[in-house]
Structure 1
Amino acid sequence: MMTPLMKTLPLIMSCLILLAAASQSQAEIQLANIFGSNMVLQRGVPVTVWGTAGSGEKLTVRFASEKIETTADANGDWSVTLPPLPASSEGQALNVASENEALEIRNVLVGELWHACGQSNMAMTVQWMPYGLPEVKADIANADLPLIRFCSIHSDPQPEPLKELELSPGWAVCSPKNVTHFSGVCFYFARKIQRELGVPVGIINTSRGGTPIEPFIPQAAFTSHPTLEKELELAGREDLEALRRLPGGVYARDANWLPGRLFNSRLAPIMRLPVRGAIWYQGESNSGTQEDPHDYAHKMRALIKGWRDAMHHQDMPFYFVQLPGSGAGAGWPYLREQQRLATDLPHTGMVVTLDIPGDGIHPANKIDVGQRLARWALAHDYGKQVPFSGPMFDRQEIDDNRIVVHFRHADSGLMVAHKQGLADPQPLPDGKLTHFEIASSDGQWHAAEATINGQTVIVTSPKVSTPIAVRYAYAVSPESVPLYNQHGLPASPFCSKPELLKYDPNLTK
């Protein structure tokens, strides 16, 4: 027997469906959360603008002299593509309107937009720098720089890629009042770029302290090496213990450290917004106590390729920071070498920081770090004639009991020098090259003597008659690393045969 409720149920369901459809068709116009007043759009490339509205709603997007019409799809999603725009220091409005509603963000500039990411040394804000570097106080007071804009994304890790950021992160205009809340590396990178180019510069910072590289790599990129493939398999089961035991695996303290978790929440939702390039400062949490730095070079390549694939920008510049000597742990020398090996990807560059004085795991001098990163961008992306790299190992040449080391970025010649504080490195004409070692045929390392010969270094050891390899500055925290090119940029630590390097993270448990 049919009850009165059963008789009215079809009518109730029909009403609910109609109400849902009406609600969807009348949905409020929204821009994706990455868009906000005071932001910077990348100049010179097509820029996608997207958001949501009512299903089938007709919209008009206006920016600068552009006017583009579109219609939201059945799910309420819409997007338009602005044509390449010239740089503009004049704040303009970005407007999205329907027949009955309008949304506007203000003071939008067009210039150079960069992505910054990593862990705590990238996240470290300007406010902490004066404690170890009093000179920063003057930079804070003079930070009335309205053409520099910052955006920081702090979304929580997620197991699946998000379509949208959890919250609108907002954009801030650089001023003495708020610069202290910005990343130190980002501020000095942006300031140098802006001063050199004279155009607006924006930075989107997605860094998170205390985090290994794995959460920032898209899950789709864990296919290029057996270690990465195994990490993804174990992460799928959330088998943290097996991940910790895996040679070259991640010491995941919780599920937030699993592959892709931060990419899913902080980067996936904004991959459609074009940027000029990316800067990266990370590695401490892949080389600390119980953390295995093996295969980090493969992880770096997966990170870079994964971001490029997600952005559909295969030649996106990617510049990163090699770990410093300050606060170093037992696994850091091995990881520095892994970072150097990852520079074999095109359109990448590495900043050496081993010569920058500092204390603790968060050295205060982010000025040299940011400015050295900016040198790479200025030279490679903006056509500026500026030195951008110190000597990088190229090849070894064994000549009897000697090893002759050849370098890239040594055309200006090599020198022994010393850096003190923020000052440029000072040449030491009578200084001695140190921190060189030679490996004998049995794979054992011995202290060596080294001399500069033009653009090469000649290395010998009285204990080694038949050398097979050479390494430089392979130590936890080598003091006063002396090798520079004539432009005053430091040589990277290196090993001519990385397969001879051994490190057991179990010894640090």
Structure 2
Amino acid sequence: MMETTRMAVPLLALAAGCACLPGQAAELGLARIFSDHAVLQRDQPIAVWGTADAGRKLAVTLGGRTVTGSADAHGKWKIQLPPQPAGGPYTLTVASGGQTVSRADILVGDVYLCSGQSNMEFTQRQSTNAVGAAYAGRNETLRFLNVPKNSTATPQDELKGPVEWKVVTPETAGDASAVCYYMARSLQGSYKVPVGFVNASWGGTTIQGWIGGESLRTLGDYKDGVAAVAQLGADTAAGMRAEEARNEAWWRAHDPHASAQRAWIATDFDDSAWPTVTPTGSWKDSGLAGFKDFDGVAWYRTTVTLTQAQAKAANALHLGPVDTYDTTWVNGVRVGGASTSWMWRDYAVPAGVFRPGRNVIAMRVLSGGQGGGMSGAPSSRTIGLADGQAIPLPAAWKVARGSALKGLSVPPAPWDVPTSLTTLYNGMIAPLVGYKFKLAAWYQGESNAGAAQEYRTLLPMLMRDWRQRFGQPALPFFVVQLTSFGAPAKAPGQSGWAELRDAQAYAVANDAHAGLAVTLDVGDRFDIHPTQKTIVGERLARAARAVAYGEKTVPGSPTAVSARRTGNDIVIAYKDTGGGLATYSSDRAIGFEVCAGTACRYAEARVAGDTVVLPGAATPDVTRVRYAWADAPFVNLFGADDLPAAPFQLDVK
């Protein structure tokens, strides 16, 4: 699913947390999530962890309570404090052998975990009415932490640093997840306790990246991919060699010239006869002979000279966006590849691959059918050094046409974001394990549209996986259902987005500790990132009041529970109407369909209290009824609480 924000193929991290050997000294420290201004979950045991010299005794103090413990043989420690009620501010202190580490302004209240792709990542400053909300003033008891993006082959003990909890102020509010901010603000207004929210999101990503490997590998389709990610984590060189073998086998099967053109990655290959180009967009617009209407493979090569110090420090290659599928080598060594045109190519390069003197960078690119080639600005292409500095690559590259190929998709490596397996759990969720949360909110699915049947398995798996890992088997989980996006339907038909919404509703309906926020009425069919995040956050908060806080209230949108024949009519019964259904701008509800097998047709629909009647629709051939079954449906059926009726499909009884 295409996203409009800039994203980068990550420098995949391989090592986890503190890699201290038994008996090795480790600096006394707290895990990064325990920064100044942190919020800890009330009324649950509070785990605190960090590093220290192996075997060293420690004392952790919070709110006048002290608990002691010791670091293990690897220099890691975890100490559990007793539950505390909402309160603060406190100082969190760790003392050991005359050393002290402390964090100030710690509150105890409710903590929310928010995750997903770009619509959860979407910041408060981008949302409708952002200025008015942000300038509501400083709120000392509302705080947030944004988890840095990190895709790793092994589960991490620590967040990628630095991280910090921020107090919500007019200056900081804009950096927060809009949906999470508005949900948290609403709930704090109801319960008057400190609230902290943690946002771990990454635009464009699929759900498979957010599920732990032990769970995901139980599905046969992912067993080998999860094993490949684990191999990369255990032995980087072996993992990369295995992926290159898989990748080249695909190329040999689909490109008749793949084997012969492998010679083009060699450092001693003579490319002097190739034309020179400064890539800045599609090769179809480059003016090069033979490229105007070309779909297929192109090869790029360039050279860069490094000093001994530069070669030693060089650890990354940055190439900007590439349209669409690339494989990239440095001095004949494969350093990466990706399969998404809007992802920036940022590849980690192992030590020793760059060398003093002349270095050759080669890239094979397969176009996706629209453009093709290195589509970014020349300034986006650099060699990264260990100290954060960068060496610009030459603007000019040698280029040659390869095979004409069309309609092919190169399978990505199983660790390639945005379609990676388990790596986002490893780098962004695993480091949070031990922290307790009041609830989790999930806004994702756009990138899985088109695979809804699988999502019916994956979303419940993610919820079970996180609950098990956090040690909270009843952790409330709230799902934002996909909104409307895309061309409006002019006739009944298939819809990947409608199927995905149905999968989300299925997961929630079969989970006693979950809730759903329906958002069909606040989408933007022209923009996958609608800006009405206030309403989305409020609807999540409404569901949370019922499920997480136990209020006796309607948790969400009117939901169809049955469709029955009554004479010549079909009558659809609803729950959670808030006092009755209503239609806006008409005396009839639009968007209802009756289906005979796979053939569907629109049906007249009228509201009658908590039911919708489809007059004359109960013909013998009709077996199913559905509502709002389109990517971007127009809807006018609402409950008494001004919540849109949820989309559905039901068998007719």
- Give your verdict on TM over 0.5: yes
Is the 1:433–1:482 contact (alpha carbons within 8 Å) kept by the matching residues of 2?
yes
Alpha-carbon shift at residue 465 of structure 1 (Å) = 4.3
Q: CA deviation at 1:70?
A: 1.1
**Cα deviation per residue 1:444-490 (whole Å; 9 max; x = unaligned)?**
111101112221112245694442110000012112x1112212211
1:388 offset after TM fit, Å? 2.5
- Equivalent in 96, 99, 106 of residue 108 of structure 1: 106
* The 10-residue stretch of structure 1 (302-311 or 151-160) with the greater mean CA deviation from structure 2: 151-160
Q: Which has the higher helix share?
A: 1
User: Per-residue displacement from partner, 1:237-270 (whole Å, max 9, x unpaired)?
Assistant: 466889x9xxxxx985862322211000111111
Secondary structure of the 1:335 match is helix
Question: Aligned match of 2:431 in 253, 259, 269?
Answer: 269
Cα contact 1:150–1:171 (8 A) shared by 2: yes
Supply the AA of the counterpart residue of 1:355.
D
Asked if structure 2 preserves the Cα contact closer than 8 Å seen for 1:155 and 1:167, the reply is no
1:476 pairs, out of 616, 622, 631, with 631
Kindly state the Cα deviation for residue 136 of structure 1 after the two structures are TM-superposed. Answer: 2.6
Q: For the residues of structure 2 that align with 1:390 and 1:124, how far apart are their CA atoms?
A: 24
Q: Distance in 1 between matches of 2:521 and 2:478?
A: 18
1:437–1:472: 8 Å Cα contact kept in structure 2? yes
Q: Which structure 1 residue ranges, 5 or more long, are not aligned?
A: 1-19, 245-249, 418-427, 499-509
1:233-244 mapped onto 2 (5 Å cutoff):
233-237=224-228
Given the superposition, is the C-alpha separation of residues 383 and 338 from structure 1 closer, same or farther in structure 2, using an over 3 Å criterion?
closer
* Counterpart check, 1:303 vs 2:462: yes
Match of 2:154, SS? coil
CA distance in structure 2 between the aligned counterparts of 1:22 and 1:101, rounded to whole angstroms: 21
Please say if 1:394 is aligned against 2:561.
yes
Shift of 1:402: 2.5
In structure 2, relative to structure 1, the CA distance for the partners of 1:349 and 1:22 (3 Å cut) is: closer
Picking from 184, 191, 196, the partner of 2:185 is: 191
Per-residue CA distance 1:66-91 (angstroms, 9 max, x = gap): 01111112221211111110101x32
For residues 273-292 of structure 1, the C-alpha deviation after alignment (integer angstroms, 9 at most, x for no partner) is 111110010111112xxx53
For the residues of structure 1 that align with 2:198 and 2:21, how far apart are their CA atoms? 37
Q: Is the CA contact 1:188–1:371 (under 8 Å) kept in the aligned structure 2?
A: yes
Unmatched tracts of structure 2, length 5 or more: 1-19, 229-242, 252-338, 340-409, 489-494
Counterpart of 1:331, as a letter, is: G
Matched letter for residue 642 of structure 2: G
Q: CA-atom RMSD, angstroms? A: 2.5
* Cα deviation code 1:387-446 (max 9, x no counterpart): 3211112122123442221222136221113xxxxxxxxxx5x53111000012x43111
Q: Structure 1 counterpart of 2:125, which letter? A: Q
Classify 1:167/1:313 alpha carbon distance in 2 versus 1 (closer, same or farther; 3 Å). same
Letter of the 2:84 partner, please give it: L
The TM-score, its normalising length taken from structure 2, stands at: 0.65
Look up the match of 2:172: 178
Secondary structure of 1:301's match?
A: helix
**Which deviates more from structure 2 when the two are superposed, residues 76-85 or residues 320-329?**
320-329
SS of corresponding position for 2:520: coil
Which secondary structure state, in structure 2, belongs to the residue aligned with residue 496 of structure 1? strand
In 2: Cα distance, 1:487 partner to 1:438 partner: 27
Structure with the bigger RCO (C-alpha within 8 Å, sep 6+) is 2
1:42 aligns to what? 41
Q: Distance in 2 between matches of 1:80 and 1:67?
A: 10
- Contact 2:148–2:160 at 8 Å: present in 1 too? no
Structure 1 CA distance for aligned equivalents of residues 151 and 22 of structure 2: 34
Aligned 8 A contact 1:49 1:80 in 2: yes
| 1:415 alignment partner, one of 569, 582, 588 | 582
More strand by share: 2
Q: In 2, Cα distance between the equivalents of 1:232 and 1:369?
A: 36
Aligned partner (choices 585, 593, 597) of residue 437 of structure 1: 593
> 1:22, CA displacement in angstroms?
11
Do residues 69 (structure 1) and 68 (structure 2) align?
A: yes
8 Å Cα contact 2:559/2:575 also seen in 1: yes
Structure 2 counterparts to residues 43-192 of structure 1, below 5 A: 43-88=42-87, 90-129=88-127, 133=128, 135-192=129-186
Q: Is the 8 A contact 1:439 1:446 kept in 2?
A: yes
- Cα distance change, pair 136–446 in 1 and its aligned pair in 2 (3 A): same
Is the partner of 1:67 in helix, strand or coil? strand
Distance 1:369 1:251, change over 3 A: farther
CA distance in structure 1 between the partners assigned to 2:95 and 2:168 by the alignment: 30
Task: Name the counterpart of 1:355.
Answer: 521
Distance in 1 between the 2:568 and 2:22 partners? Answer: 84
- TM-score, normalised relative to structure 1: 0.83
The farther-off stretch of 379-388 and 401-410 is: 379-388
Tell me, what secondary structure is at the counterpart of 2:201? coil
Q: 1:251 to 1:294 in 2, by over 3 A?
A: farther
Q: Secondary structure at the match of 1:266?
A: helix
Aligned residue pair count: 448
- The structure 2 residue matched to 1:326, chosen from 470, 476, 485, is 485
1:229 to 1:464, Cα distance in 2 relative to 1, 3 A: same
CA contact (8 A) 1:402 1:467 kept: no
After TM superposition, the structure 1 stretch with the greater mean CA deviation from structure 2, 350-359 or 45-54, is 350-359
Q: What letter is aligned with 1:272?
A: G
Query: Aligned residue for 2:24?
Result: 24
Conserved 8 A contact 1:447-1:461: no
* Cα distance in 1, alignment partners of residues 53 and 24 from structure 2: 5
SS in 1 for 2:478: strand
- Counterparts of 2:617 and 2:29 in 1: how far apart (Å)? 72
* Identical pairs, percent: 33
On the 8 A contact 1:438/1:471 being kept in 2, the answer is yes
